[in-house]
Amino acid sequence: MAQQIERSNRGWIIALLAVVACVGFFIYYRSQHSVVLIHAARAERQDIKSTVSTNGKVEPTADFQAHAPFPGVVQDLYVEQGEQVKAGQQLVRMDDSGPLKDVAAAQASLQSAEDTLRAMQSGGTQDERLGASNDMAAAESQLKQSESSLASLQKLQAQGAASANEVASAQQRVTDAQTRIKQLQMRRTGRYSGDDIKTQQAQVAQARAALAAARASLDNAVKRAPFAGTVYSVPVSQYDYVQMGDTLLDVADLSRLQIRAYFDEPEIGSLAIGQPVSIVWDAKPSQVWHGHILQAPTTIIQYGATRNVGECLITVDDAKGDLLPNTNVTVKVTTLQRPNVLSLPREALQTDGTSSFVYKIVDERLVKTPVVPGVVNLTRVEITKGLQEGDEVALGSVTEAELRDGLRVKVKP
């Protein structure tokens, strides 16, 4: 009985192994003889270039921004936004009644300071000089009288008609009169010290500077265009009240523009002065401007909260007034360009560690073929070694089946 069970189990095992072998053979046969539908492309010669893109802002290289020179009212606005202006043309005028008063006050202060300085240099004002002259005349008259009285007493003393005390008193009056004259003479010639004169001279200089500033402010009441250009911004209207320093309008030469662009840190190593640039503005998506790198990044800065970027200056070589200042644009820099090179669609390139390969189609089978890639961009890859022009390679299966060496394939038309 046990032998019968053992023979029965052995039969089942043999049958199961036979089924597994049949299934495996079927799968192997199907894998070797089934055909996978794929997309394919041929190696062909094309111009290929490598590019990097980023955002940037348009800046005029010749820009004039008129600011209010003082708080007040916009009296006259001579231009409109978008208007072309010539060098020296009037743009805007501020109400200058306030600066006119300031100029008048500054002139009066200067006149007063200069008069005071002249008076100090000549010994005082006219009234003071007249008073001093009168005092001197009185002192001189007093001296003459005292000298005359002294002479009379001295004669009388010689005759014994006057005492020595009387003569001494008369002599003292003469001495006092002489002292008074000396004091008045010193007061006339040395009333003000050198330091007093210097202090007043400094006040005159300060008054002159204040007058120059007031006149400059008055002159600045009228703003003129420093060069020919376009009025691209007018944030104020006539009769608006503005504070000192507020922007009145902006003028720029729109044929002389540059772009300040910000490239992420991994990209700046490929940037160099003179590389060609294409420029796109979302407001005019069908138009493309062209330029070149004027200044490559020299350092890394933080842009926004998360980006570390290199700042780059780009010229706009074909600006004709149709690209506005302060607009945000997209720039694309061609960092490398190779003409007439053998290339494939980028999706054909496969990698295995540090090695690169493609699946070349030979007699309707895939052949794993090592290649050496060159320039790579978003859509194409240059092949410098491993393929010939016209070789057909697989891009991928239609059914997303895995590609492998030796797989039978059919190219989808």
Q: What is the pLDDT of residues 101-126, one digit of tens each?
A: 999 999 999 998 888 888 777 665 55
Q: Which residue has the tokens 């008074």?
A: 180
The per-residue pLDDT for 130 is 61
The per-residue pLDDT for 3 is 54
Q: What is the CA radius of gyration of the chain?
A: 51
Average pLDDT over residues 302-308: 84
Q: Are 232 and 249 contacting, i.e. CB atoms less than 8 angstroms apart? A: no
Q: Which residue has the tokens 């007018």?
A: 234
The per-residue pLDDT for 55 is 94
The per-residue pLDDT for 185 is 67
Does the pLDDT at position 198 exceed 70? yes
Query: pLDDT class for 163, splitting at 50, 70, 90?
Result: confident
More confident site: 260 or 134: 260
More confident site: 171 or 105: 105
Q: Are 99 and 221 contacting, i.e. CB atoms less than 8 angstroms apart? A: yes
The per-residue pLDDT for 368 is 95
Average pLDDT over residues 184-193: 64
More confident site: 299 or 157: 299
More confident site: 404 or 147: 404
Query: pLDDT class for 218, splitting at 50, 70, 90?
Result: confident
Instruction: Find the DSSP H helices in 190-291.
Output: 194-219
Does the pLDDT at position 377 exceed 60? yes
Query: pLDDT class for 131, splitting at 50, 70, 90?
Result: low
The per-residue pLDDT for 148 is 82
Average pLDDT over residues 142-169: 80
Does the pLDDT at position 30 exceed 60? no
The per-residue pLDDT for 121 is 75
The per-residue pLDDT for 52 is 92
> Residue 39, class by beta-carbon neighbours within 10 Å (0-12 exposed, 13-18 middle, 19+ buried)?
middle
The per-residue pLDDT for range 314-328, each reduced to its tens digit, is 999 999 888 989 999
Task: State the Cα torsion 112-113-118-121 to the nearest 10°.
Answer: 140
The per-residue pLDDT for 388 is 95
The per-residue pLDDT for 29 is 47
Q: How would you classify residue 193: left for phi > 0, otherwise alpha for psi between -120 and 50, otherwise beta? A: beta
**What share of the chain has pLDDT > 90, as a percent?**
55
The per-residue pLDDT for range 262-272, each reduced to its tens digit, is 999 889 889 99
Does the pLDDT at position 153 exceed 80? no
More confident site: 224 or 115: 224
The per-residue pLDDT for 11 is 62
Among candidate residues 78, 87, 84, the one with its CA nearest the CA of residue 248: 78
What distances in angstroms separate CA 48 from CA 334, 381, 410, one per listed residue?
Answer: 10, 8, 29
Among candidate residues 3, 23, 72, 395, the one with its CA nearest the CA of residue 243: 72
What distances in angstroms separate CA 246 from CA 83, 134, 216, 325, 338, one per listed residue?
Answer: 21, 61, 18, 19, 52
The per-residue pLDDT for 272 is 94
